[in-house]
Amino acid sequence: MTNQALGENIRKIRELKGFSQQNLADEIKVDQKTISRIENGELSPKFDIIVAISKILSVSLSQLLSFNENMIFNNYNQYQQGGKFVAYNNTEIEKIEELYKLLLSEKDEIIALLKKN
C-alpha cells in the first residue's frame, strides 16, 4: 500500500467518524501537521502510529488498510415513482439490530435519569 492510499483511507475514515485532524492528533499525541502530512501521503507513519490511529477511529488495522468507501456507499438506486434515493450498505443486519438495541437501552437510561432529576 502506498503512503498516498493509506493517507486517503485515514482521511476518509476520520471524516466519516467526525474527527478533525486536530482531534486525531491530540488523541495520538502528535501535532496536527503530522496528521496532515500522513493524509497527504508526504509522511510514512510508523507502525505504532497506524495502530493508534486505528484504535482512535475504532477500526481494525485490516479495515484501515483496505478501506473502500464503496463498502459504505455501495448502491444508490433511484426509486422510479417517488424520485427518492435508497442507500444500501454491507452492514450485517445482526450488527444493526445490536446497535439499535443498545440505542434503545441508552434512551431508557437517559429517561430514567431525567425522571430522577
Specify the pLDDT at position 11: 94
Q: Is the pLDDT of residue 4 over 60?
A: yes
Q: What is the pLDDT of residues 57-110, one digit of tens each?
A: 988 888 888 887 665 554 344 444 454 444 445 556 667 777 778 888 888 888
Tallying the residues shown for the chain, one arrives at 117
Our measurement of the distance from residue 1's CA atom to the centroid of its chain's CA atoms, rounded to an integer in Å, reads 20
**CB neighbourhood size of 23 (10 A):** 15
Per CATH, the number for 3-67 is 1.10.260.40
Closest CA to 53 of 12, 95, 99: 12
C-alpha cell at 23: 482531534
* pTM metric for this prediction: 0.60
Eight-class DSSP state of 35: H
Domain spans, the chain: 3-67, 71-116
